[in-house]
Amino acid sequence: MLDEIKTRLKELDKKLSGLRNYLDVDKNETALKGFEAKMAGAGFWDNQEKARGVIQQLKRARAIIDPYFACRKEFDELSELIVIVDKDDERSIDEIRTSLRKLEKDIDSLEFKSLMSGQLDPNNAIISIHAGAGGTESCDWASMLLRMYSMWAEANGYKVEIIDMLAGEEAGVKSVVMIVAGAYAYGYLKSEMGVHRLVRISPFDANKRRHTSFASMDVIAEVEDDIDVDIKESDLRIDTYRSSGAGGQHVNVTDSAVRITHLPTGTVVQCQNERSQHKNKATALKVLKARLYEAKLEEKKKEMEKENAKKQKIEWGSQIRSYVMHPYSMVKDHRTSYETSNVNAIMDGKIEALMEAFLKWKAVDKS
């Protein structure tokens, strides 16, 4: 009994040592000390934007360091207990076994994070959801996806900020753009990029017929201010307009909403969530920068694939996942083949298993 536990502990020790290197724990620990020193310095809050950037970087470093050292602490405590426990003390051994299962689960979670090794994975995510053809049905489906990702984000400690939304004519939303802020938001949410398909009995059909709806999900990483993206003022067309809203005493009566067009690429971004035109412009520029940087990375990737004479892979098919509510219940990811019958849980934001399956699939696909 004890020998088996000791063997499992040795295996976990090797895993933790490997993860320490893979996650760059030492490098992140050094960076964390640097961020803490900056925060303690005089005049740290004089530049609010820069201060928020430092805090965000600090949170990302902590998102790696804290879980690792928590696992290492659990491991050390179990290693000490296993030395002093009596081999006939079944109650203590059962408690150790329970703690060991928890440690294994925590290390699995840490190992899962190691799959997110991309340069932009630790960044915030900018999500765009667009209803497909199908009118009210698709608009309602887009709003259901918005709810699903919002619930996932809130349950995992992320901050959600909707920066632009176009409501459907009868129900739901035609399109919505939001920022999900927090460590590794992009690393997790990049698994959701693509077309999502819904099959259900339509609540808008008096004859209760089955309908198929589509909505697309696009995800880009929010990039830091020090990322090199050349945006010239002369290349921008900036339009202002009145924000849309539900009306009432807080209706926006000024042209505070901002639409920015990047003329060389035709990229258009807009923001209307703030009353201040200045704040909306700053947010829109942030989204524009992220989109241009994403396009730059994609261009480099295509060039590398061409140079290496490799056949370009279709990473995002026309349909990445199906959500079937009738005649049976099933959610199936067509890339990883992961499926579950618990549609309600998925729609309530419990999508971690789908994300994990995607990241593992990508890791195997790259190897």
Q: Based on the domain organization, do 259 and 336 belong to the same domain?
A: no
* Residue 71 contacts residue 107 (beta carbons within 8 Å): yes
What pLDDT score does 110 carry? 85
What pLDDT score does 312 carry? 32
Residue 309 pLDDT level (bands cut at 50, 70, 90)? very low
Q: What residue numbers bound the domain in which 323 lies?
A: 125-226+313-366
What pLDDT score does 252 carry? 47
* Residue 218 contacts residue 127 (beta carbons within 8 Å): yes
Name the burial class of residue 134, with classes exposed (0-12), middle (13-18) and buried (19+) by CB atoms within 10 angstroms of its CB.
Answer: middle
Q: What is the pLDDT of residues 105-115, one digit of tens each?
A: 999 888 877 78
What pLDDT score does 313 carry? 34
Residue 312 sits at φ, ψ, to 5 deg, of -70, 130
For residue 243, pLDDT over 80 is answered with no
Q: Based on the domain organization, do 247 and 185 belong to the same domain?
A: no
For residue 301, pLDDT over 90 is answered with no
119 within domain boundaries: no
Q: Based on the domain organization, do 95 and 12 belong to the same domain?
A: yes
Q: Based on the domain organization, do 141 and 51 belong to the same domain?
A: no
118 within domain boundaries: no
Quote the number of domains for the chain. 3
CATH, residue 100: 1.20.58.410
User: Whose CA is closest to 24, among 160, 139, 119?
Assistant: 119
* Residue 176 contacts residue 142 (beta carbons within 8 Å): yes
Q: Based on the domain organization, do 301 and 358 belong to the same domain?
A: no
Residue 254 pLDDT level (bands cut at 50, 70, 90)? low
Q: Based on the domain organization, do 350 and 294 belong to the same domain?
A: no
Residue 255 sits at φ, ψ, to 5 deg, of -85, 70
User: Whose CA is closest to 330, among 319, 344, 318, 320?
Assistant: 344
Which range, 33-42, 201-210, 286-295, 308-317, is most confident?
Answer: 33-42
120 within domain boundaries: no
- Return the bridge partners of 178, or none: 127, 162
What percentage of the chain has pLDDT greater than the value 70?
A: 90
Q: pTM of the prediction?
A: 0.71
174 within domain boundaries: yes
